[in-house]
């Protein structure tokens, strides 16, 4: 495969530039030539690293997944109790929503643009969302003893987080994170009674 001849830092730079452009303007609005120019590489080097746009999109989404995991896990790991860990997810969302570059969930955005025409992008988005659901299930199991109630609550809490991401992107405010957290507290309270 041609990617082995490309230096890892050059490949990472291409992915970083593509991520910034895709996230700010949309995947379909950004062409490979614009990415090449932004990354300061030749077209030959770009296509040696990524033979097609779909491979580049996959690399961008893999990077976004890693960034998401680091952020949400970092926030959760900093919390002291199982309940605080579960609610830390919403605190992480609030800090993310406050970032000037926030434009919603990159996976929801990619799925909205390409999910119907790119099975690969749809699958990557599903895997990311399933990973988050499993993470929330693990946190919820530490708070709610009954496995069935914990599973149901986890699905509800993940849905709150997903809805907050979409609403915050459209509204341009951090308020959905705090609203989702308050709703989560209510659901957790009901599930632990």
**141 and 89 in a common domain:** yes
131 & 181 share domain: yes
Count CB atoms within 10 A of the CB of residue 33: 10
Average pLDDT over residues 111-120: 95
158 and 66 housed in the same domain: yes
Ordered DSSP codes for 41-74 = --HHHHHHH-SSHHHHHHHHHHHHHHHHHHHHHH
Provide the token pair at 86.
């579960």
Give the torsion sign (CA, 113, 49, 14, 165).
positive
User: pLDDT (tens digit, 9 = 90+) per residue, 119-178?
Assistant: 999 999 999 999 999 999 999 999 999 999 999 999 999 999 999 999 999 999 999 999
Are 130 and 74 in a shared domain? yes
Q: What is the pLDDT of residues 32-65, one digit of tens each?
A: 999 999 999 999 999 999 999 999 999 999 999 9
User: 6 falls in which pLDDT band (50, 70, 90)?
Assistant: confident
Q: Which residues contact 67 (CB under 8 A, 6 or more apart)?
A: none
Eight-class DSSP state of 2: G
User: Last residue of some domain: 51, 67, 88?
Assistant: 51
Query: For a pLDDT cut of 70, what percent of the chain falls above it?
Result: 98
Does the pLDDT of residue 3 top 50, yes or no?
A: no
CATH for 66: 1.10.357.10
> d(Cα 104, Cα 96) in Å, to the nearest integer?
9
Q: Which domain holds residue 42?
A: 1-51
One domain for residues 59 and 46: no
Query: How far apart, in Å, are the Cα atoms of 15 and each of 44, 75, 121, 174, 181?
Result: 16, 25, 16, 28, 33
User: Are 33 and 122 contained in the same domain?
Assistant: no
**pLDDT tier for residue 190 given thresholds of 50, 70 and 90:** very high
Among 51, 72, 90, give the residue marking a domain's end: 51
Residue 10 pLDDT greater than 50, yes or no: yes
Give the CATH number, domain containing residue 1. Answer: 1.10.10
- Say yes or no: 67 and 21 in one domain: no
Number of domains comprising the chain: 2
pLDDT-derived band at 193 (thresholds 50, 70, 90) equals confident
2 — pLDDT class (breaks 50, 70, 90)? very low
Same domain, 181 and 88: yes
């Amino acid at each position: 495969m041609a990617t082995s001849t490309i230096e890892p830092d050059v490949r990472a730079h291409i992915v970083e530039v593509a991520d910034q452009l895709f996230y700010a303007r949309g995947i379909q609005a950004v062409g490979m030539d614009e990415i090449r120019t932004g990354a300061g590489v030749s077209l030959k080097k770009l296509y040696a690293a990524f033979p097609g746009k779909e491979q580049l999109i996959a690399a961008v989404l893999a990077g976004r997944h890693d960034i998401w995991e680091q952020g949400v896990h970092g926030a959760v790991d900093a919390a002291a109790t199982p309940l605080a860990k579960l609610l830390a997810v919403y605190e992480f969302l609030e800090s993310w929503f406050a970032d000037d570059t926030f434009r919603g969930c990159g996976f929801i955005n990619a799925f909205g643009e390409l999910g119907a025409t790119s099975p690969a992008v749809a699958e990557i988005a599903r895997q990311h969302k399933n990973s988050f659901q499993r993470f929330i299930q693990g946190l919820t199991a530490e708070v709610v003893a009954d496995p069935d109630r914990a599973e149901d609550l986890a699905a509800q809490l993940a849905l709150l987080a997903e809805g907050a991401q979409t609403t915050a992107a459209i509204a341009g405010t951090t308020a959905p994170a705090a609203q989702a957290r308050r709703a989560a507290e209510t659901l957790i309270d009901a599930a632990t009674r």
